[in-house]
Amino acid sequence: MKLVKALIITGYGINCEEEMAAAYRLNGESAEIVHINRILSSEVSIHDYHIINFPGGFSFGDDIASGKVFANKIAYRRLITGKTLLEDIQSFLAEGKYIIGVCNGFQVLVRLGLLPNIAGKFEQEVTLMQNDSGRFIDNWCTVKANNTALPHLAGITEMDLPIRHGEGKLIVRDDFIRNEILRLKLNCLTYIGNPNGSELDCAGLCDPSGQVFGLMPHPEAFLSFYNHPDWNKKKILNPAHSEDGEGMQIFKNIINEIKIKLIN
């Protein structure tokens, strides 16, 4: 049986790569953690994988803006082919493959113009700024799925997920982009009780193709039911509760989609 092959990109302060890899390995699939420099030097090709994962962390210490320097390396550093990695990612998507970014990874996708990419030009249309509180948030939140046509969110209505960010407030460039996000249902995941002041209560975005998905909360940090701070209460109320954490469903969904669409 052929496995889903997940590429987990790390380096320069990314620190959630092991949890992201575990999301695939616990489902019996293949996940390889690769430093970004091995890709930029063309030692590793993104085309050998079905899905690219940009995990959370603090790339380059968030010294300029969260994800900005990491995004610039992808956008401007050229591979031995002469293409930038961003151009290679565009080719990867043209093959029908998938990308997910969480927290710092979401910030990278936004700054690369991969999300929401309404105009299809891979130009930045939204940004992520400092939380309204002016402080780093380390808590749990409840989010609602608004676009269950997105393969990652199939069958999901609401879920609890942890958040850990200082710059999670989504700001939209202009009214046209805002209206298109709503019209196309790209605001696929919203907070119930907005913890950071995001426009549209946005917790996650997808692109019009449904191949690129980014979110601020951490599904890879809720792979086990026992990760939840109220697991004991939930277990008492429902002794038959699944051992999986709610975040696992996002990965199960995209694994299933890849097997249907990409693995023969």
* Domain of residue 86, residue span: 5-261
At 208, is the pLDDT very low, low, confident or very high (cuts 50, 70, 90)? very high
One-letter amino acid at 81 equals T
CA–centroid distance for 71 within its chain:
14
What is the pLDDT at residue 147? 86
Residue reference for tokens 């193709």: 209
Which DSSP category does 51 fall into? E
Catalytic residues: 103, 218, 220
In the predicted structure, residue 62 carries a pLDDT above the cut 80: no
Model pLDDT, residue 103: 97
The total number of residues shown for the chain amounts to 264
**Residue 54: pLDDT above 90?**
yes
Element (H, E) at 86: helix 85-94
Name the E strands within the chain: 5-10, 30-35, 51-54, 98-102, 126-129, 137-145, 158-165, 169-172, 189-191, 202-206, 212-215
Predicted local confidence at residue 137, as pLDDT = 96
**pLDDT tops 80 at residue 134:** yes
What is the C-alpha separation between 87 and 157, in angstroms, rounded? 35
User: What is the band of 74 on the pLDDT scale with cuts at 50, 70, 90?
Assistant: very high
pLDDT recorded at residue 148: 82
Structural domain total, the chain:
1
Q: Tell me the percentage of the chain whose pLDDT exceeds 90.
A: 95
Residue 93 pLDDT class (50, 70, 90 cuts): very high
The predicted structure's pLDDT at residue 65: 82
| pLDDT at position 5 | 98
Domain CATH number, residue 19: 3.40.50.880
Mean pLDDT, all residues of the chain: 96
pLDDT of residue 128: 96
Partner residues linked to 99 by β-bridges: 52, 212
